[in-house]
Amino acid sequence: GPPLPVRNRRPAAKVHPLGAPGRKKLQDVLVDRKVPRDDRDAVPIVTTQTGDIVWVAGQVLADPFRVTPLTKSVVVLTLRR
């Protein structure tokens, strides 16, 4: 498939965390996960070509991209620090 762009966070970005009932501000996810304020802009954000957040690296997977019984293929992403 097409490449998955990696970017930094942007103002007002939202993600639907795995298992959560709906979308949440990325800022709130990072605060809830206790990511230090100074580190938040350095967290890599993996997106689709259209800008939908797939993975907040090392923090949370987006629910729409979870593996289900209907999944035919997967991409394994690894964060190295």
pTM: 0.89
Q: Which residue pairs from 26-35 have beta carbons closer than 8 angstroms and sit at least 24 positions apart in sequence? A: 26/53, 26/56, 29/56, 29/59, 29/60, 30/56, 30/59, 33/59, 33/60, 35/59
Q: Provide the pLDDT confidence category of residue 2 given band limits of 50, 70 and 90.
A: confident
Provide mean pLDDT across the span 34-45: 95
Q: Is the pLDDT of residue 63 over 90?
A: yes
Q: Is the pLDDT of residue 9 over 90?
A: yes
Provide mean pLDDT across the span 33-42: 95
Helix (H, G, I), strand (E, B) or coil at 74: coil
**pLDDT (0 to 100) of residue 19:** 92
**40: buried, middle or exposed (CB in 10 Å: 19+, 13-18, 0-12)?**
middle
Q: Is the pLDDT of residue 1 over 80?
A: no
